[in-house]
Structure 1
Amino acid sequence: MVIRENIKDFNLDHIFDCGQCFRWNKQQNGSYTGIAFGKPVNINFKPYIEGGFEGRLSIDNINEAEFNEHWKTYLDLDKDYGHIKSALAKKDLVLAEAIQSGQGIRILKQEPWETLISFIISQNNNIPRIKKCIEGLCQMFGLPAGSFQERDYFAFPEASVLAQLTENDLAPIKLGYRAKYIIETAKKIVTDNFDSGNKECVDVRLTTLADLRRADIVTGYEYLTSLCGVGPKVANCILLFGMEKYNSFPIDVWVRRVMHRLYHMDESDMKSMTNYASENFGEYGGIAQQYLFYHIRQLEK
């Protein structure tokens, strides 16, 4: 187990219930158990003051080397979210209120391939069903990742595995039309990775999935929307949650709703929403989106 004290601007419910990830489940003691990087873990956070956002973080089933290699970055612990919240709140009073709802949100730095397929599955879907589909995909086609807390875990299946499947192979998971998208996208990723591996220098204008973190957001967006089943909303989610493009502003039904209700924009006018986010939230557009997303869901509960 790894323990860290004085972790600030942190809340597990805010992080794991803001629509950015799908392989984490809340436990009776308030901790969350899930899997990333092929490793199941339990994450617990105890605030020093009840209801506070500073406290003691513990991660069970990893060692210090694994924490430094993966989990410190995954939980985005080096970013000063206090500064970000202050900067965003000063510019926008509506967002300042939204931040109060989800003060402990942090953007997870997820694996690009898993993020890509997860958000293809997410379109026109609800979170419980998304989670069920992803778990089915992993159980059927992922490598065993060991047993933890009396449950067997499986890693997310590689692109090379999914590229060999047929829609009939995926039928038990009940992905619907998304099955074709997953297979075709996996084939494209495998082909692009193979082709780029034979180049002396990878041109970021013709980038592969693995290169997108160092590509600019426009290049990343163009590449992602060239993949089967990836539209603007899914592409922006992948850029934000898998590619560290924090100025990406995904617009789904919840964001349209919050922009209509709190900013009085037409729910169909996504261009105005995008422009507003760019002008007012800037480099932190994606983080602002998460505060707004979480806030509107709390308001409607």
Structure 2
Amino acid sequence: MVKIIFMGTPDFSATILQGLLDSGTYDVLAVVTQPDRAVGRQKTVQSSAVKQLALTHRLPIFQPEKLTGSKELSELMELGADGIVTAAFGQFLPSQLLAAVDFAVNVHASLLPKYRGGAPIHYALINGEKETGVTIMEMVKEMDAGDMIASASLPISDEDNVGTLFEKLAFLGRDLLLETLPAYLSGSIKPQPQDSSKATFSPNISPEAERIDWQRPARDVFNQVRGMYPWPVAHTFFAGKRIKLHEVSLAAGQGQPGQIIEKNRKNLVIAAGQGAVSLKTVQPAGKPKMAIVDFLNGIGRTAEVGDFFE
């Protein structure tokens, strides 16, 4: 069996790890994932999806805050692994670790060289792409710049958001990895260099990027909301209070950007720079997520046509 170290963090990574474990072809010597983090308003400490899966299979787990220069790095290098498989790990791999194994490959959730970086699924949606995919590539020191082993694509629909695409791409990446890794290891697949002149980047979403700019066209607002759901979630302000927008739909109508142009018992329509969007699911500050009907029956009942979202 091929002895590997697996590195990954979210559900996307866990799907790929499960595929490797189920294949019976790979001996996972250890799993490396991000440290447990405090999440949510209650600051509940939560383990990554990869750690939770590793625990069920009783795999050795390493969680360095930073792999470079850590004691965990030395321990990993002593395991005698043939190679490394990574998927949404969230850290650079030290050069000495890459040099210590026969191969190191990454499952990246974009069609490289497009959307190198930590948030490729988010940006594919935000930018209104019609398709996305996964790329299996060799690991190098530069971010997502290694030679490409294989890729596969799928269409993006208006019903997709970050959550649905993460799930679709996780299964696509799992299947592509299991299909192509044996051929790559046997030498029958020759990796192809990326065209760096066509590279684009997808850095982690900043807090500033989460805020809705109502001057933009309605399609851009729609794409921003679904490109940030279920995390980190886009937001706007009304009457000085922040409101997260979990789901919106495109709507007819025109008005000044951010202006309420329609309100009834079931609908709240906001004008954008061109066109409008109808709010579907929102979350006022300090409140749970709610359907727009509940918002309008509660704290949103004071909103009137002509009022503005900031």
TM over 0.5: no
> TM bucket by the smaller chain?
under 0.3
TM-score norm. by structure 1 comes to 0.28
Q: Which has the higher contact order (CA 8 A, sep 6+)?
A: 1
The structure with the largest helix share of the pair is: 1
